[in-house]
Amino acid sequence: MRETVERWARFLAAYIPDDYLPVAIGIAMAWRPGVDPDFWRRGVLFVTGAAALSLFIHGSDNIAGYLHGVDRLASATKRSVKEPKLLVTGEVSLGPARVVTAAMLALSLAIGAYLAVGVPWSVIAVGLLIVALAAQYSVGLSLSYRGLGELVVALSGLGAWVGSGVVTRRLEVAPALVGAMLGLFFASVNACSNQADYAFDRASGRGTLAVRLGPRHHRRVAVAILAGGWCTLVAAVAVRAVPLMTGTMLALVPLHRRQLVALFRGDPLEARRIGFVALRLIFIWVAASVVCDRAWRAA
């Protein structure tokens, strides 16, 4: 039993994702000094459910990659960036991986059902749409295999919209705009991942957007995605969806420039690494600026 639990833990720990963080940003945007304990209870539960859903998505992606053969081809490359394919190496067997992945989905759905009580149907509908699309990234409709991976990742940023809606029980424009921005920045990292996996995906018949467009045209899409993210930030500041101080995030533009330089010189793994650094700084920047602004106004 202990050995099984340790295997499950290794499988999850190897793929701790960042794509539940937009939910936390949405909750931060809804925060006001003096909120009641119910706000924190619902917020913590929803972040937990979003993290569980994210682990299901990544777990199912790795199971699908293993079964389709792409992970066997990419195993050495993934290990070099500290993302070992544990199913390929045999450190985790397929059975436990399926069990823990299904458990993450069950946990996410259970939390979602509990939090849905008393929430307007508009919030539930948006949440269900995002969950339905995100959950089928690699299974079900296998959207990433149909060239829609970047789109699904971009839409997952709208978790900020749902996160805010769950704790406030209403949908507002500001979290939707910020969620769109975060989703686009996340999709730019996903584009780098697909560039890195291009040869393996093509060899295994996985029809990612990079495979369908070819590396050259796909790199242009990555530029457009990043540009869209920064344009959305400007729009969010202009309509006061975020505080003016959030605009100082433009200081991170050089980091994204480095990401694109690495991508165009043929080093998508370095571009992906830089993209993740920028993404995490953006999450911190947005959350800190929003919370500081709320606290300052309440003082």
Here the tokens at position 69 are 């053969």
The confidence score (pLDDT) of residue 69 equals 64
Residue 298: band (very low, low, confident or very high) from pLDDT cuts 50, 70, 90: confident
Nearest to 143 by CA among 226, 201, 208: 208
Give the model confidence (pLDDT) of 71-97 as tens digits: 665 555 555 555 666 666 656 677 777
Amino acid at 227: A
Domain termination residue (choose one: 75, 92, 117): 117
Exposure class string for 186-198: b at 16+ Cβ within 10 A, else e: bbbbbbbbbbbbb
Query: pTM, whole model, 2 decimals?
Result: 0.86
Q: Is 147 exposed, middle or buried (0-12, 13-18, 19+ CB in 10 A)?
A: middle
Please give the Cα distance from 126 to 29 (Å, whole number): 18
pLDDT tops 80 at residue 188: yes
259 and 141 in a common domain: yes
Domain termination residue (choose one: 77, 98, 117): 117
What's the full length of the chain, in residues?
Answer: 299
127 and 71 in a common domain: no
Exposure class string for 115-136: b at 16+ Cβ within 10 A, else e: beeebeeebbebbeebbebbbb
56 and 144 in a common domain: no
Please give the Cα distance from 208 to 222 (Å, whole number): 14
Please give the Cα distance from 19 to 61 (Å, whole number): 14
Please give the Cα distance from 62 to 97 (Å, whole number): 9
pLDDT tops 70 at residue 208: yes
Confirm if 139 and 60 have CB atoms less than 8 A apart.
yes
In 3-state terms, what secondary structure has residue 131? helix
Asked whether residue 254 is domain-assigned, the answer is: yes
209 and 77 in a common domain: no
Asked whether residue 96 is domain-assigned, the answer is: yes
Q: Based on the structure, what is the number of domains in the chain?
A: 2
**CA distances in angstroms from 89 to 39, 62, 94, 198, 228, listed in the order given:** 43, 13, 11, 21, 39
205 and 57 in a common domain: no
Domain encompassing residue 244: 120-299
Percent of the chain at pLDDT exceeding 70: 86
Q: In sequence order, which ranges of the chain are alpha helices (DSSP H)?
A: 2-13, 21-30, 37-68, 70-80, 86-89, 94-116, 121-135, 149-156, 159-168, 173-196, 198-204, 209-213, 215-238, 253-264, 268-298
Close Cβ partners of 263 (under 8 Å, ≥ 6 residues apart): 192, 195, 219, 222, 271
Averaged pLDDT for residues 191-206: 88
Averaged pLDDT for residues 264-278: 94
Domain termination residue (choose one: 117, 151, 171): 117
Residue 121: band (very low, low, confident or very high) from pLDDT cuts 50, 70, 90: very high
Asked whether residue 230 is domain-assigned, the answer is: yes
